[in-house]
Amino acid sequence: MDRPLNETRSVCCYCGTGCGVIIQSAGDRIVGVRGDPDHPANFGKLCAKGNTLHLAAVRTGRATVPILRESRAVLPAPTSWDYALDVAAERFAAIIREHGPDAVAFYVSGQLLTEDYYVFNKLARALVGTNNIDSNSRLCMSSAVAAYKATLGSDAVPCCYEDIELADLLLIAGSNTAYAHPIVFRRIEAAKEKRPDLKIVVVDPRRTDTAAAADLHLALAPGADALLYSAMLHVLLWEGLTDPAFIAQHTEGFNALRSQLAELTPGAVAAACGVRAEDIVAAARMFGQAKAPLSFWCQGLNQSIHGTANGAALIHLHLATGKIGRPGMGPFSLTGQPNAMGGRETGTMANLLPGHRNLADPADRAELARLWNVPALPEKPGKTAIELFDALTNGDIKAIWIACTNPAQSLPDLAKVKTALTHAKFVVVQDAWGDTETAAFADLLLPAATWGEKDGTVTNSERRISRVRAAVPPPGAARADWRIARDFALRLDEKLGAGRTAQFAFDSPAEVYAEYVRTTVGRDLDIHELSHAVLDARGPTQWPTGAARLYTDHRFAFPDGKARFIPIDTQLTAETPDARHPFRLLTGRLRDQWHGMSRTGRIPRLYSHEPEPRIEIHPADLQRRGWIDGQLMRVKSRRGEIVLPIAASEEVRPGQAFVAMHWGRRSLSHDGVNALTIPVCDPVSKQPELKHAALRIEPAVLPWRMRVLRSPGLSAEAHEKVIEWRARLAPLLEGFDYAALTLDGRERPLVALRVAAAEPLAIERIEQIADALEMPEGVCLTYRDPAKRVIKRARIDDERLTGILLAGEDLAGNWLRAAMKEGVPIDALRRWLFAPRAEPPVASAAPRRVICNCLDVSEADIQREIAAGADLPALQERLKCGTSCGACVQEIKQLLGKR
Ligand code: SF4
């Protein structure tokens, strides 16, 4: 008998939009998800990632038991929690005793809950006595924090999502909102549809789906952001579109900035910005003449060597025009992770303290020491993310605790990061997944609970605090993150004899939260009246309690109540192209993947929009250099080299190259794009310039090809099975010249391996791969051509093709993949299985690129209807494409525009 379905309200664990979800579970299994119609961030809508959250609730890859490597000379082995935490406490205590508290560090994550953050923060500062605690949020929004603090006096987003419906101009800067914050973008689309007069200006080097929706797209040169917004301010001044009374009454520093602006005319900066002077003037006029301009920004501004100046230059536009603090207007930084805001609020970064306190402020340290009942807090600044890994390499830091993040995939200059992790004396990795790139470096791997298994709170981009609730228990021995941190703290306290047991006497996340909110009393984010119970009763709540907007009285958070204009750094990027590295690398996101793919990478259908890694360059560059679409290329920067297929894209300009940030070692035989990126940081925010680098691209001569596809066909366990096969294959790819390991399909999911090499692979390695996929010769049809060194093998189950291996010649790989996904009967394929044939023998085996992932509608289906005269409503009526999450609507509009 089917178990009854339980429903639990929680929050999506991907982006900072913070959509409410309702998790459906049966017994201890998560079986479905739907949008929460009552959550004010999304009103029931979810994007493709949110809609498939439940599909990542798989067993394979989960860390379910502590794994300890007693020494680097022995293999890791399962152990008990008691022993694991004792060893961790002993190792940390020994290092602290011998080398002092700053010889250890904690590197945490914007995916932790507020309660998790708080316990880790207290553990580092109040027990260990170090400020070496930083978050992976350093990589995505620390420049926004620094810009808000430098200009408005506090790290507080002054706007809310409702402002989208009230604005008359949206300036979207360095943000592909359509991909990174899809539900925010749905609100933007809805607002534009309802009020066609709403103007949208997008500033982005690439013509993204977001840019395609703009009334004006400024495809600025990489790194020219601060220059562009300063030139816009120059125009506002010149044309009398500023608000001198507001500037005089509510701001400081304008005169100093004004002299810097004098030189920054549109004509003077147009070339450096890569846009026409008249477009800069047009954008400035649109901003200046708007009654309610709302600016969104994200990583395009933040991930820069002058990310703080970029954010500040954008905020200056609002301050100079007085367009801030009222409905529909203001500078709105979007957060990339679900609880990056919680990390800011709990001060879980090297330079911050809970309750928006500053580490550098003695009064803030003293007040927190009193609240925590410790004599004093450490004063020495902690190391930020990049500094922290440098300190592991040079030995200043000897032990690191990494929680819920994957620095061996996400930090820039990965060769350096891996050296750091190898140099460390003791590496603890606390994660839900045991197969991340970073887990491979763990001396101790601690299994953590994840989405659907955790209880606590998160804060989204608009300062809205939501309850996160557990629908099922974590698998095996996995535990909640706050509890792991607490249990470690209690043991470490014992080893150090610090007498701080009482400071960690939390029995539930609700108790942790109750203590955390007491640290906010009297602060700008005072939420002392909130608790888990109050949030349960009230639902998602903005801070300060119930305030939709900040600075409505135009009193800013500096002691004198005045906002600040600051000088602007107008340098472009850390690296500029030259003869050896002539391409400019741009990094960004795919529509249906999230971050390092540790979760979305386990969901086959999320690969259908972008099936494999690739590097995109402009068609003119491809043609000029005589390169062919799909050709494998060596992509080199001054730090590393990777191999990727090349693809033509009109989203980038000539001279630019785009690589998505998501692909890593679980998808490739080598590192992803962060093998190439540069670890140079903004001097204020310490955020690295992950967006840009200089590249050389040249053909990779890897003539030998192999394609392997394996699907369990239709079965309830099919999804779990392909993940298991993929996990078996991943370790076999080490040392390949090029290999891409991906998933695909829906009802009939499959695992796909593509290999290219300079020389044919040894037979033993081919057999290893076949064995891992349960395709030994005995159960498969086999074809061999020893003269051409070709081996082909097909597995057939229940009259369907369920496995194919094409080694030495793989022309038929694409249509065989389509045939397996579609479940084409074997009779239609049998005689063609081993033919060197690129064209499908039957129409049902033709490869199809899926555009609407929710409803599984392909580009070919859409093109057919467009050719028959369909417009968008007709397409939505006939094919249903774009009627679920809506993420594909922009792409459909672009197809319609080309007819
Ligand atoms: Fe999740 Fe998508 Fe909402 Fe972001 S926009 S929170 S990824 S459902």
Residue 169 is inside which H or E element, if any? Answer: strand 169-173
pLDDT at 899 over 80: no
Mean pLDDT computed over 623-642? 97
The residue nearest atom 3 of ligand 1, judged by CA position, is: 19
Q: How far is the CA of 176 from the centre of ligand 1 (A)?
A: 14
Per-residue pLDDT tens digits for 144-193? 999 999 999 999 999 999 999 999 999 999 999 999 999 999 999 999 99
Largest CA distance in the chain: 85
What is residue 235's predicted lDDT score, i.e. its pLDDT? 98
What is residue 112's predicted lDDT score, i.e. its pLDDT? 97
Closest CA to 739 of 643, 631, 804: 643
**Non-local CB neighbours of 725 within 8 Å, separated by 6+ positions:** 710, 751, 772, 773, 774
User: What would the DSSP string read from start to end of 434-467?
Assistant: S-STTGGG-SEEEEB--TTS--EEEE-TTSEEEE
Among 181, 184, 885, the mutation site with the greatest number of ligand 1 atoms within 8 A of its Cβ is: 181
Among 33, 42, 161, 853, the mutation site with the greatest number of ligand 1 atoms within 8 A of its Cβ is: 42
Please tell me the distance from the alpha carbon of residue 738 to that of residue 755, in angstroms, as a whole number. Answer: 6
Q: How far is the CA of 133 from the centre of ligand 1 (A)?
A: 28
Mean pLDDT computed over 223-229? 96
Percent over 70 (pLDDT), the chain: 99
Percent over 90 (pLDDT), the chain: 90
CB atoms within 10 A of CB 207: 18
Q: How far is the CA of 886 from the centre of ligand 1 (A)?
A: 12
Which tokens is 484 given? 């792991």
Indicate the SS3 state at residue 236.
helix
pTM of the model: 0.95
CB atoms within 10 A of CB 28: 12
Q: How far is the CA of 331 from the centre of ligand 1 (A)?
A: 21
846 band by pLDDT with thresholds 50, 70 and 90: confident
Closest ligand 1 atom to 11 CA:
6
What is residue 528's predicted lDDT score, i.e. its pLDDT? 95
324 band by pLDDT with thresholds 50, 70 and 90: very high
Closest ligand 1 atom to 21 CA:
8
The residue nearest atom 2 of ligand 1, judged by CA position, is: 47
- Mean pLDDT lowest among 175-179, 413-417, 865-869: 865-869
What is residue 885's predicted lDDT score, i.e. its pLDDT? 83
Q: Omega of the bond prior to 544 within 30 degrees of 0, cis?
A: yes
Q: How far is the CA of 489 from the centre of ligand 1 (A)?
A: 34
Q: How far is the CA of 543 from the centre of ligand 1 (A)?
A: 21
Mean pLDDT computed over 439-448? 98
Please tell me the distance from the alpha carbon of residue 17 to that of residue 503, in angstroms, as a whole number. Answer: 33
Among 21, 183, 187, 853, the mutation site with the greatest number of ligand 1 atoms within 8 A of its Cβ is: 183
Q: How far is the CA of 888 from the centre of ligand 1 (A)?
A: 15
**Under a CB-based contact definition with an 8 Å cutoff, are residues 593 and 600 in contact?**
yes
Per-residue pLDDT tens digits for 368-388? 999 999 999 999 999 999 999
Among 19, 164, 597, the mutation site with the greatest number of ligand 1 atoms within 8 A of its Cβ is: 19
Q: How far is the CA of 35 from the centre of ligand 1 (A)?
A: 10
Q: How far is the CA of 16 from the centre of ligand 1 (A)?
A: 7
Closest ligand 1 atom to 15 CA:
4
* Dihedral sign for Cα atoms in the order 806, 812, 815, 819: negative
Per-residue pLDDT tens digits for 681-710? 999 999 999 999 999 999 999 999 999 999
Mean pLDDT computed over 193-203? 97
Cα radius of gyration rounded to whole Å, the chain? 27
Q: How far is the CA of 179 from the centre of ligand 1 (A)?
A: 10
Closest ligand 1 atom to 184 CA:
5
Q: How far is the CA of 49 from the centre of ligand 1 (A)?
A: 7
Q: How far is the CA of 34 from the centre of ligand 1 (A)?
A: 12
Per-residue pLDDT tens digits for 703-751? 999 999 999 989 889 999 999 999 999 999 988 999 999 999 999 999 9
Mean pLDDT computed over 131-136? 97
Closest ligand 1 atom to 182 CA:
5
Closest ligand 1 atom to 41 CA:
3
Among 17, 43, 179, 337, the mutation site with the greatest number of ligand 1 atoms within 8 A of its Cβ is: 17
**Residues present in the chain in total:** 899
Closest ligand 1 atom to 338 CA:
6
What is residue 715's predicted lDDT score, i.e. its pLDDT? 87
Q: For the chain, how far is it from start to end, CA to CA, in angstroms?
A: 53
Question: Any idea what DSSP says for residue 125?
Answer: I
**Under a CB-based contact definition with an 8 Å cutoff, are residues 753 and 707 in contact?**
yes
Please tell me the distance from the alpha carbon of residue 19 to that of residue 41, in angstroms, as a whole number. Answer: 5
The residue nearest atom 4 of ligand 1, judged by CA position, is: 15
Torsion of CA 109, 113, 116, 121, to 10 degrees: 60
Q: How far is the CA of 610 from the centre of ligand 1 (A)?
A: 19
Cα three-residue angle 630-635-637, rounded to 5 degrees: 160
pLDDT at 564 over 80: yes
Closest ligand 1 atom to 17 CA:
6
Closest ligand 1 atom to 35 CA:
8
User: What would the DSSP string read from start to end of 66-108?
Assistant: -EE-SSTTS--EE--HHHHHHHHHHHHHHHHHHH-GGGEEEEE
The residue nearest atom 8 of ligand 1, judged by CA position, is: 50
Question: Any idea what DSSP says for residue 384?
Answer: P
User: What would the DSSP string read from start to end of 259-308?
Assistant: HHHTT--HHHHHHHHTS-HHHHHHHHHHHHH-SSEEEEE-HHHHSSTTHH
Q: What does the buried/exposed string (b/e) look like for 455-479 if buried means 16 or more CB atoms within 10 Å of the residue's CB?
A: bbbbbbbbbbbbbbbbbbebbeebb
Closest ligand 1 atom to 45 CA:
8
pLDDT at 641 over 80: yes
Please tell me the distance from the alpha carbon of residue 521 to that of residue 543, in angstroms, as a whole number. Answer: 12
Q: How far is the CA of 500 from the centre of ligand 1 (A)?
A: 40
C-alpha 46 chain-centroid distance: 17
Beta-bridge mates of residue 689: none
Beta-bridge mates of residue 648: 617
Question: Any idea what DSSP says for residue 709?
Answer: E
Closest ligand 1 atom to 18 CA:
6
Indicate the SS3 state at residue 118.
helix
What is residue 3's predicted lDDT score, i.e. its pLDDT? 65
Please tell me the distance from the alpha carbon of residue 294 to that of residue 590, in angstroms, as a whole number. Answer: 25
CA atoms within 13 A on the CB side of 91: 24
Please tell me the distance from the alpha carbon of residue 606 to that of residue 580, in angstroms, as a whole number. Answer: 37
Per-residue pLDDT tens digits for 801-844? 999 999 999 999 999 999 999 999 999 999 999 999 999 988 88
What is residue 571's predicted lDDT score, i.e. its pLDDT? 82
Cα three-residue angle 348-174-588, rounded to 5 degrees: 80
Closest CA to 142 of 314, 318, 301: 301
Among 10, 22, 33, 46, the mutation site with the greatest number of ligand 1 atoms within 8 A of its Cβ is: 46
Q: How far is the CA of 174 from the centre of ligand 1 (A)?
A: 19
Residue 216 is inside which H or E element, if any? Answer: strand 216-218
What is residue 115's predicted lDDT score, i.e. its pLDDT? 98
pLDDT at 1 over 80: no
Please tell me the distance from the alpha carbon of residue 311 to that of residue 317, in angstroms, as a whole number. Answer: 10
Q: How far is the CA of 46 from the centre of ligand 1 (A)?
A: 6
Quickly tell me which residue has 């220059």 as its tokens: 227
Q: How far is the CA of 641 from the centre of ligand 1 (A)?
A: 33
Closest ligand 1 atom to 181 CA:
5
Q: How far is the CA of 603 from the centre of ligand 1 (A)?
A: 16
Per-residue pLDDT tens digits for 419-438? 999 999 999 999 999 999 99
Integer angstrom CA distances of residue 718 from 199, 351, 729, 744: 47, 47, 17, 12
CB atoms within 10 A of CB 138: 28
Strand ranges inside 691-798, DSSP E:
692-699, 704-710, 738-744, 750-757, 781-785, 790-797
Q: How far is the CA of 595 from the centre of ligand 1 (A)?
A: 13
**Under a CB-based contact definition with an 8 Å cutoff, are residues 513 and 493 in contact?**
no
Q: How far is the CA of 18 from the centre of ligand 1 (A)?
A: 6
Q: Which residues line ligand 1 (CB under 6 A)?
A: 12, 14-15, 17-19, 42, 46-47, 49-50, 181-183
What is residue 718's predicted lDDT score, i.e. its pLDDT? 93
**Under a CB-based contact definition with an 8 Å cutoff, are residues 797 and 774 in contact?**
no
pLDDT at 511 over 90: yes
Per-residue pLDDT tens digits for 29-78? 999 999 999 999 999 999 999 999 999 999 999 999 999 999 888 899 99
Among 11, 12, 451, 462, the mutation site with the greatest number of ligand 1 atoms within 8 A of its Cβ is: 12
Closest ligand 1 atom to 48 CA:
2
Quickly tell me which residue has 């703009």 as its tokens: 214
Closest ligand 1 atom to 47 CA:
2
